[in-house]
Amino acid sequence: MTHTQTKSSALTQGIIIFVFLAVLTALEFGIALLLNSLVLLTLVALVKAGLVMYYYMHIYKLNQDEHGEGHDSYAYKTGTNRLGLWLFLLSDAFVFGGLLVSRFNLLGMTRPHLNQTLGLAVTAVLLISSFFMNRAETSIAHGDRKGFLNGTLITMLLGLGFVVGVVGLEWQLAKIEEVIASKDVVGAIFYMMTGMHAFHVLTGVILLFTVWNKGRKGLYSAEKHWGVEAATVYWHFVDVVWIFFYPALYLIGTLAI
Amino acid sequence: MKNMKPFTRGLVLMLLGHLVGYGVGLGLDTLVSGRMNFTASIAGFFSLVVGVALFFHGLVGYRTITRGIVWQILGTLGGALFVTGIRALMGLKTFGPPFLFTEPAWVFGGLAGVICFLLGHGVVDDWIRMARGLDVPEHRADAPGWEKFYSPSLDHKVIGVQYTITALVLLVVGGTFALIFRTELAASGLQFLTTDFKLFSQNGLQFYNTLMSLHGMIMIVSILLGIAGLMNYLVPLLIGAHDMAFPRLNAFSFWIAPPAAVLLLSSLVLGGFDTGWTGYPPLSAKAPLGMQMFFLGVFVAGWSSILGALNLIATVLRMRAKGMTAFRLPIFVWAAIATSIISLTATQLIGLSFQMVMFQRLFGMGFFDPAKGGSPVLFQHLFWFYSHPAVYVFILPGLGVVSELLPVFVRKPLFGYKWIAMSSLAIALVGFLVWAHHMFTSGMNEYLRVPFMYSTLLVAIPTGVKFFSWVATIWKGKISTPMPSAFLFVVGAIVVFLMGGLSGPPNATVSTDLHLHDTYWIVGHFHDTLFGGFVFPFFAALYYWFPKATGRRLNETLGRWHFWLMTPAFFTLSLGMMRIGLLGMRRRIADYDPLQGFDPTHLVLTIAAFAIALSVLIFIINLVVSLKRGEPAEGNIWNSRSPEWQVASPMPAHNYDTPFEVVGEPYDYGLPGSKYVEFAKK
């Protein structure tokens, strides 16, 4: 977790966390099938979010002390930037929190009629994208530009795949199942939540593209790559949001009529 | 034209722009409706935006803010035409009276206009360069003279002034709206806002509703910009930083506010709306187009608040001078932090709730439509989750100003520093748990009433701590006479806010609120809290720090006139409102029954409102005159211990030439030999 970590051990850690997340997602699905317990599903989501925030988003870095280096050093400024980014995420989290509150207030313990296979598939795509995002960041932190560019590119493509899966496929399939935005509140909530999230995924893809483009020009190094870190943390944040939205839309409660 | 002063040239061009815009709009409206309507919305819209654009063109020429507004106009029209084109392809309605474009076209156009403003103004240029991987210099020199105030300056002091001036402009606009409908209220019956009155697709009653609603929101935005101005200007100076943590974000936070103000004002001409500033559905789901422009304007202005708060928290956490530990921070900084915690997080919820109504109108998504299973009460929960804490956003910086200035003027240590610091945080945090006291009569679940009553009453405790500290600080203080205007306004703030505070608990208590809800009592109460918590301290801060910003003092005689006119007039206004409120006067309505006997009181209220307006006019004259001819202010004119007064006024671009270190307690006034800051030797 510190600078002393070697590249291979950092990559291994990324893989282990990914396996954990995958197993927890499967567990989540199983809980929904067998027990349908709100408490357990919430717990699993919290554990998943905690893992991502600690091991992928490195929230502990907020606590790093760069005071020894003076206010004008790159390290200190990066620390300030990091704080600013996390404050922004905190603010943004209130939007998604508000959407979750609206969902439970309006739908209670019912959920829209959605395609479960597709839901699991897009969730997996986003999870895999987080894994590659982590690889990309780890690579640039150890000076491996090629690994970073490849990882970012794959993440971007997977992100676009997620948007296509949700907006291109799921929205069309949902329409067939009578989940329609203007029909009733079930449709309204579904399109609002997925739409807001997809909007964030798209902005994440744009951020990743600028980072990838700058990386191609050789503007990042092992020491100076705040831009990469920012895009990475934002990307994982969008993933954390989906960790809560997925069970809220697909798993919790019984089907709405 | 060339020989005129820029401001005169701006005014002349503005008049010309209003005329040209009116003509263009009238022509377009005639084209789509087939008949001449001299009070058409479109004529009003073009008259408004072209007038504003040409005003700034006269002031600074075609660059920065002027280009921003021109791009906003073009962006709005382009966006609206884009959506209209798509609608044409889909075979939907395209053009038509009374608003030329359809509602979706206006909403998309409005949003595109804001983005175009930012691109045209140039405040995002650096970010675009960064994203493309081009070099961006760390600092940028400001344009000389006045021009820097229209350009994307990165200096927190310039941005602070930009915020403050915009706040004053909006204060005047919102105040003017109030005067118009206050005049209508002076007697029972309808005087001039009658059903025969026609303006911007509204009759007199609708226009009353629009003005009343916009008065609320424009004043709120004005207050948000006002506190942002104070915090931006002061916090880096007080903590010894050379600027805010994120100067570009700081400029962005300010420059997103002017296009939002344009949107808010355009809601006046585009059909208006009649929900009051709260925009409750189901009424807001049916109100005219102005509703959408209002929602969009507030949504955009909200980003100014969110990003400004983010910047401020990061600045205080990361940029403090050496030795400035948590409990040696100036008390105003504590208040600013508490305020920013609310702005950063809760603002998202008003944005979300407004966005959901916008989508309900645009796409038929029935979040708040009971016919589709939605719940109007949910809107109120989301809305008040921000809008109640928001009042603490408005007052906490003001109360911080009071605590900051009081020890300077009574030459005594601030009583209970830590308690004051913590009380600001406590108000902010408890503020998150009280929102539903606005909903006692809304039909929400009844079991929620009592918990929210107690949590609301809890706010009185930290607020009481502040009063206790102020009184104890004044106790046996050395007050010099004549009292400077800044001090007068501090004392005024304490007294007025006390009245606002005492009139609060009856509204928090369920049994009394059921009767007081939606009466003028509430109107009186919150005007008290906002005058005591923002307006008086804001003026105090302006009298106190104007010399720091300009190197000249404000005129004290005019200052006293300002104070002694505004204070009694305001007491008359708020106490009068509370009186007729208790007697049953409903709020928000244009007319009342003469048999209720409110006519004399309403007449007095109207006169008082004009007296307040006159006092503000005196202040603005004072501001303009003193800028050029004010008495020069050299050195530490208030004999303050605060670091910004230990150096020359106005401050240089990057604040302190030599860094300082904090070596003592901030408010040890009157204690011999005590020191707060020590500057490094050059």
SS3 category, B116? helix
Chain B nearest C-alpha distance from A214 (Å) = 6
What is the reported pLDDT for A68? 63
| Closest residue, chain B, to A106 (C-alpha) | B374
Q: Which residues contact B530 (CB under 8 A, 6 or more apart)?
A: B219, B223, B391, B394, B395, B500
The answer to whether the CB of B572 falls within 8 A of the CB of B514 is no
Alpha carbon dihedral B333, B304, B493, B563, in 10-degree steps, equals 120
How far is B25 from A167, CA to CA, in rounded Å?
39
Please report which residue ranges of B122-256 form alpha helices under DSSP H. 125-131, 156-185, 204-239, 247-255
Question: Does residue A3 have a pLDDT over 60?
Answer: no
Say if B345 is an interface residue toward chain A (CB within 8 Å). yes
Maximum separation of any 2 CA atoms in chain B, in Å? 82
For residue B426, give the CATH number of its domain.
Answer: 1.20.210.10
In a domain, A133, yes or no: yes
Say if A62 is an interface residue toward chain B (CB within 8 Å). no
What is the reported pLDDT for B682? 66
| Chain A residues lying within 8 Å of B246, measured CB to CB | 80-81, 84
Helices (H) and strands (E) in chain A, counts: 8, 2
In a domain, B44, yes or no: no
Q: Which residues contact A229 (CB under 8 A, 6 or more apart)?
A: A78, A82, A137
| Chain B residues lying within 8 Å of A94, measured CB to CB | 345-346, 348-349
Count of Cβ atoms closer than 10 Å to residue B196 Cβ: 9
How is residue B71 written in tokens?
A: 């791009």
Q: Can you tell me the mean pLDDT for A171-197? A: 92
How many domains is chain B built from? 1
Say if A191 is an interface residue toward chain B (CB within 8 Å). yes
Say if A55 is an interface residue toward chain B (CB within 8 Å). no
Query: In chain B, positions 632-651, which contact chain A (CB-CB < 8 Å)?
Result: none
| Chain B residues lying within 8 Å of A62, measured CB to CB | none
What is the reported pLDDT for B464? 94
How far is B375 from A189, CA to CA, in rounded Å?
12
State percent of chain A over pLDDT 90: 80
How many domains is chain A built from? 1
B316-375, pLDDT tens digit by residue? 999 999 899 999 999 999 999 999 999 999 999 999 999 999 999 999 999 999 999 999
Say if B310 is an interface residue toward chain A (CB within 8 Å). yes
In a domain, B575, yes or no: yes
How is residue A162 written in tokens?
A: 């997620």
Q: Which residues of chain B have pLDDT under 70?
A: 1, 682
In a domain, A1, yes or no: no
The answer to whether the CB of B294 falls within 8 A of the CB of B275 is no
**DSSP category for residue B660:** E
| Chain B residues lying within 8 Å of A90, measured CB to CB | 344-345
A72-119, pLDDT tens digit by residue? 888 899 999 999 999 999 999 999 999 999 999 999 999 999 999 999
A110-111 and A254-255 beta bridge pairing: parallel
Q: Which among A84, A184, A219 has CB closest to B246?
A: A84
What is the reported pLDDT for A2? 47
pTM of the model: 0.95
Phi, psi of A59 (to 5 degrees): -65, -25
Question: Does residue A1 have a pLDDT over 80?
Answer: no
SS3 category, B203? strand
Question: Residue B293: in which H helix or E strand, if any?
Answer: helix B290-318
Burial B111-126 (b: 16+ CB within 10 A, else e): bbbbbbbbbbbbbbeb
In a domain, A64, yes or no: yes
Q: For residue B617, give its domain range.
A: 153-629
Give the mutation candidate from B365, B367, B445 for the A interface (greatest A CB count, under 10 A). Answer: B365
| Chain A residues lying within 8 Å of B347, measured CB to CB | 91
Question: Does residue A256 have a pLDDT over 80?
Answer: no
Q: For residue A173, give its domain range.
A: 7-255
For chain A, the straight-line distance linking the first and the last C-alpha, in angstroms and rounded, comes to: 49
Phi, psi of B261 (to 5 degrees): -65, -40
CA atoms within 13 A on the CB side of B564: 8
Say if A16 is an interface residue toward chain B (CB within 8 Å). no
For residue B677, the cross-strand partners are: B662
| Residue found by looking up tokens 């401020």 in the block | B312
What is the reported pLDDT for B1? 67
In a domain, A55, yes or no: yes
Sequence length of chain A is 257
Q: Which of B115, B81, B436 is nearest to B303 (CA)?
A: B115
Say if A213 is an interface residue toward chain B (CB within 8 Å). yes
How far is A185 from B372, CA to CA, in rounded Å?
6
SS3 category, A117? helix
CA atoms within 13 A on the CB side of A58: 20
How far is B580 from B573, CA to CA, in rounded Å?
11
The answer to whether the CB of B331 falls within 8 A of the CB of B404 is yes
Question: Does residue A257 have a pLDDT over 80?
Answer: no
Rounded alpha-carbon distances, angstroms, from residue A244 to A107, A248, A249, A255: 16, 6, 9, 18
Burial A1-19 (b: 16+ CB within 10 A, else e): eeeeeeeeebbebbeebbe
How far is B231 from B424, CA to CA, in rounded Å?
15
A121-139, pLDDT tens digit by residue? 999 999 999 999 999 999 9
Count of Cβ atoms closer than 10 Å to residue B507 Cβ: 19
How far is B166 from B228, CA to CA, in rounded Å?
11
In a domain, B557, yes or no: yes
ipTM of the complex: 0.94
Please report which residue ranges of B364-459 form alpha helices under DSSP H. 376-410, 417-431, 449-458
Question: Does residue A228 have a pLDDT over 50?
Answer: yes
**DSSP category for residue A14:** H
For residue A26, give the CATH number of its domain.
Answer: 1.20.120.80
Q: Which among B310, B317, B356 has CB closest to A91?
A: B310
Say whether B365 and A184 touch across the interface (CB within 8 A).
Answer: no
Say if B432 is an interface residue toward chain A (CB within 8 Å). no
| Chain A residues lying within 8 Å of B136, measured CB to CB | none
What is the reported pLDDT for B148? 87
How far is B490 from A50, CA to CA, in rounded Å?
48
Got the DSSP string for A173-235? HHHHTT--TTT-HHHHHHHHHHHHHHHHHHHHHHHHHHHHHHHHTT---SS--HHHHHHHHHH
